[in-house]
Amino acid sequence: MIPESKKAAVTNALQVTFGVPEFDDLHELTAGLSSALVFKMTVLGKPYLLRIITRTDAMADPANEYACMKAAADVGIAPHVWHTDVNDRIAITDFIEVKPFELDEAKVKIPALLRKLHALPPFPFRMDYIDKIGEFMEKFQAAEIMPADMTTGIFDLYKKIKDIYPRNAEDLVACHNDLKPENTLFDGERAWLVDWEAAFLNDRYVDLAIAANFVVRSDEDEADFLKAYFGEEANEYQQARFFLMRQLLHLFYFIVFMLLGKTQGRIIDFNMPKTGFREFHDRIWAGEISLANMDARLQYALVHKEQLLRNMQLKRLQDSLELVWLHK
């Protein structure tokens, strides 16, 4: 299971960290969309997580990933880090025995977890997130995946939000940026964040909006979620920024998962059967839907598109745009 090119590095990591040249047992973990190889590894009778980075593109930066992971581990929101090697692209951490994470508990524990994460010293800056969404939007438009009349107004909304949304250095915090269920683990008592590949300095509302896709089910949930994060009732400006970021992420996930789900020669059925936004996310949270499946990716994209189109009809959208513009 371990690539031949990495076996010597893994042996060295075991020897340096635990004083033994080999593991007792090894099982590959395949949940999630990361290109990294991830294993549950037993050494001297205790389970650990072995993660081997395989990507070599610009986003695969083990130095950044390990630094962010260690910083989070130091404050108890990521598993203990036993070994990292930037050159070999190998990390060994504690293994979290996962228990069911009920949504009622998650919507309390996750904002508290994010509050602790965002209080860390700043992570490295890697990109402007909102500009990056624009780059993906251009790729989507160039690919001509979908008739233009099916995206009417969506890309104009991006430009409106981009023009008024604040992007000041003082607003940026240490962010995880990939808070899907596979990366938000619960051991029966504590919640943990894993897979720090996408971590960098970003707007706090990105993490909040990603998590909200799964744990915010109503206006009341939103109020409770933001209160748990800020430590007090969110003001109108905070609510407006949160709402606008959620719309940007609906757009981003629509674009990215349409691009991921598109395969050469495949005809996409834009009316394919799918559940609503809330049910779809509930099923992802419950492990019933995997976004490794091509059909699921396309369904996920369309679910986000439809949710965005619904939200574009809300008075709250215009109110949020005006409020954030006034604070610019």
Q: Tell me the residue range of the domain where 118 lies.
A: 103-326
- Per-residue pLDDT tens over the stretch 117-152: 999 999 999 999 999 999 999 999 998 888 888 888
* Structure tokens belonging to residue 311: 């939200």
Same domain, residue pair 217 and 294: yes
First to last CA, the chain: 53
For 84-121, the DSSP string reads: EETTTTEEEEEPP------HHHHHHHHHHHHHHHHTSS
What is the pLDDT, as a whole number, of residue 32? 64
* pTM, 2 dp: 0.94
The C-alpha atoms of residue 235 and residue 257 are separated, in whole angstroms, by 33
Same domain, residue pair 134 and 247: yes
- Per-residue pLDDT tens over the stretch 4-60: 999 999 999 999 999 999 999 999 998 766 778 999 999 999 999 999 998 776 667
- Per-residue pLDDT tens over the stretch 290-300: 988 888 899 99
Burial of 212 from C-beta contacts in 10 A (0-12 / 13-18 / 19+): buried
What's the CATH number where 209 sits?
Answer: 3.90.1200.10
Same domain, residue pair 108 and 87: no
Check: CB of residue 72 under 8 Å from CB of residue 120.
yes
For 203-230, the DSSP string reads: EHHHHHHHHHHHH--SHHHHHHHHHHHH
Same domain, residue pair 315 and 219: yes
Angle, alpha carbons 287-289-291 (nearest 5°): 115
Last residue of one domain, picked from the residues 59, 94, 129 = 94
Last residue of one domain, picked from the residues 59, 77, 94 = 94
